[in-house]
């Protein structure tokens, strides 16, 4: 888990998350991950970038993003989503929604290091709930 301040966008943290010691085949991301740097990095690492782009998206300066834009515009949104299993990202979004609903969207700790520990504890409790339900 990666904890950052609310001022840091998800897309800017992508490179650090992917460089961890986990094999990643594809990255499913919303528009906040749509950047030339992310597309170029993922492509260089051999990872398929499945990142939604606006219907009027154009690309300059990134061959990987350009190909993704062309492909996404060639298919209807539902077909593109089905081909790349983009809907799977909602499983993660759903888990975050449950955690926010159960534990609220705020932390009580004041120091950043303790905030990170609090978030890790909440995620661990959530995982325990899920495991108990199975």
pLDDT tens digit string along 38-87? Answer: 889 899 989 988 988 765 566 677 888 888 888 888 888 888 888 888 88
| Coil, helix or strand at residue 27 | strand
> What is the SS3 assignment for 31-68?
HHHCCHHHHHHHHHCCCEEEECCCCCCCCCCCHHHHHH
pLDDT of 127 over the 80 cut: yes
Structure tokens at 24: 């990643």
Least confidently predicted of 8-17, 19-28, 93-102: 8-17
What span, in angstroms and rounded, lies between the C-alpha atoms of 123 and 1?
Answer: 9
What span, in angstroms and rounded, lies between the C-alpha atoms of 74 and 39?
Answer: 19
């Amino acid at each position: 888990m990666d904890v950052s301040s609310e001022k840091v966008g998800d897309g800017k943290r992508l490179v650090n998350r992917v460089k961890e010691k986990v094999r990643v085949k594809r990255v499913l991301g919303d528009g906040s991950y749509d950047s030339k740097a992310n597309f170029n990095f993922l492509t260089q690492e051999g990872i398929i970038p499945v990142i939604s782009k606006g219907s009027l998206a154009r690309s300059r300066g990134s061959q990987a993003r350009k190909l993704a834009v062309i492909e996404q515009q060639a298919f209807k949104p539902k077909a593109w989503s089905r081909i790349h299993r983009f809907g799977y990202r909602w499983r993660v979004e759903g888990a975050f929604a449950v955690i926010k609903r159960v534990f609220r969207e705020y932390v009580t700790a004041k120091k950043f290091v303790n905030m990170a520990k609090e978030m890790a504890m909440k995620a661990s409790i959530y995982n325990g709930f899920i495991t108990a339900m199975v």
